[in-house]
């Protein structure tokens, strides 16, 4: 009898290992009946874990940490999960080829940002996918590197990643930091130009991990081992150029055909073997990193005032300082 598991995920290309493991029968071979539950937003992911709609989720560590600590409702004690993806986040700003050329030509990036902002005639609105996200932390690092005050010189807008392109085209936002393939899609559609991302601001960082609820792990003691084995196989396939076309087609299928409805050309641009973008997807665990993979995130989260001292002790107990 198969072990059932409901895993939440969003319309993001780095969901490929979970989607691939289900579509290619890898989960089934490991005695697993996995339902990939595609939801609209990261708030839905956190709520699904907290209020029992999901058994696990593919999510970034900051949100997993804050969900574990009860900042999304009740504390559920999530522990670090299986590393699935690294990097891949992209920061884009409204504009076309000429704007990108002007940005690149300007050595002083603070002045380049000011020049770009002046073309808008108002305070820029920049989108991120969630407050408790790697994207928010990476965008904050980017703005700090330009000596731009995040709290006074721009406006942060929270919205689901799949809405970013529509919002950019409609003028609701003037740029964003989001996961693959949305930055590539904005660039390919001529809506925005790429200014930075994971590769330059936090090289090789842990992006998504599969977290499983403790109650599910207790009910299925060998379940995590089997899920990890299946995902290890799927990750190898996602990294293999021979399977790039199949993975691209899978991610591009409509939602009602068990795909994610992602733009095909943008997915191609962010596949691991692509050489067209700096911020391509990477899968699996650490890539030359040393120390705990979540260390820089926890430090930045402390600096944001999200983690008072008592919470840090809870994180140590749950193993977040040791996550790889």
State the CB neighbour count (10 A cutoff) for residue 241: 10
| Length of the chain, in residues | 324
Q: Report the pLDDT value the prediction gives residue 181, as an integer from 0 to 100.
A: 97
From the list 234, 236, 205, 165, the residue with the least C-alpha distance to 11 is 165
Q: Residue 2 has what DSSP assignment?
A: P
Q: Report the pLDDT value the prediction gives residue 73, as an integer from 0 to 100.
A: 81
For the chain, domain boundaries: 3-86+207-322, 90-201
Distance from chain centroid for Cα 54? 19
Architecture of domain 90-201 in CATH?
Answer: 3-Layer(aba) Sandwich (3.40)
Burial of 287 (0-12, 13-18, 19+ CB in 10 A): middle
> pTM for the complete prediction?
0.95
pLDDT per 10-residue tile (average), the chain, 324 residues: 94 97 96 97 96 94 95 88 95 89 92 94 96 98 97 97 97 98 96 95 94 96 97 95 95 96 97 84 68 85 94 93 76
Q: What is the 3-state secondary structure (H, E, C) of 92-159?
A: EEECCHHHHHHHHHCCCHHHHHHHHHHHHCCCCEEEECCCCCHHHHHHHHHHHHCCCCHHHHCEEEEC
194: its two tokens: 């790429």
Please state, in angstroms and rounded to a whole number, the distance separating the CA atoms of residues 250 and 238. 11
Q: Report the pLDDT value the prediction gives residue 290, as an integer from 0 to 100.
A: 40
Helix or strand or coil: residue 205?
A: coil
Q: Report the pLDDT value the prediction gives residue 72, as an integer from 0 to 100.
A: 80
* Phi then psi dihedrals of residue 281, to 5 deg: -75, 145
Q: Does domain 3-86+207-322 have CATH number 3.30.930.10?
A: no
Is 90-201 the same fold as 3-86+207-322? yes
DSSP string of 234-303? HHHHHH-GGGHHHHHHHHHS-GGGTS----HHHHHHHSTT--S-SS--EESS-SS--S-TTHHHHHHHHH
Helix or strand or coil: residue 167?
A: helix
Burial of 41 (0-12, 13-18, 19+ CB in 10 A): middle
Q: Report the pLDDT value the prediction gives residue 287, as an integer from 0 to 100.
A: 55
Burial of 96 (0-12, 13-18, 19+ CB in 10 A): exposed
């Amino acid at each position: 009898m198969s072990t059932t598991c409901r895993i939440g995920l969003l319309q993001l290309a780095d969901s490929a290992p979970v989607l691939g493991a289900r579509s290619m029968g890898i989960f089934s071979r490991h005695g697993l009946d996995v339902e990939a539950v595609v939801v609209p937003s990261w708030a839905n992911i956190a709520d699904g874990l907290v209020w029992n709609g999901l058994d696990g989720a593919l999510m970034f560590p900051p949100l997993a940490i804050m969900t574990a600590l009860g900042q999304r409702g009740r504390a559920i004690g999530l522990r670090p999960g299986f590393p699935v993806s690294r990097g891949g986040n992209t920061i884009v700003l409204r504009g076309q080829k000429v704007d990108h050329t002007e940005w690149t030509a300007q050595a002083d990036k603070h002045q380049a940002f000011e020049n770009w902002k002046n073309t808008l005639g108002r305070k820029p609105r920049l989108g991120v996918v969630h407050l408790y996200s790697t994207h928010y932390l990476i965008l904050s690092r980017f703005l700090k590197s330009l000596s731009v005050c995040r709290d006074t010189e721009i406006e942060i807008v929270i919205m689901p990643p799949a809405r970013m392109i529509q919002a950019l085209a409609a003028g609701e936002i003037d740029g964003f930091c989001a996961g693959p393939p949305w930055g590539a899609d904005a660039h390919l559609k001529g809506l925005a130009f790429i200014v930075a991302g994971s590769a330059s601001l936090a090289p090789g960082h842990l992006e998504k991990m599969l977290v499983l609820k403790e109650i599910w792990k207790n009910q299925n003691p060998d379940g995590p081992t089997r899920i990890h084995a299946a995902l290890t196989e799927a990750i190898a396939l996602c990294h293999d150029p021979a399977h790039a076309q199949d993975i691209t087609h899978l991610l591009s299928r409509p939602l009602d055909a068990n795909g994610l409805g992602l733009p095909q050309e943008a997915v191609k641009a962010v596949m691991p073997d692509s050489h067209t973008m700096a911020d391509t997807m990477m899968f699996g665990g650490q890539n030359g990193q040393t120390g705990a993979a979540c260390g820089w995130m926890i430090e930045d989260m402390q600096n944001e005032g999200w983690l008072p001292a008592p919470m840090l002790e809870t994180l140590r107990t749950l193993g977040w300082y040791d996550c790889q």
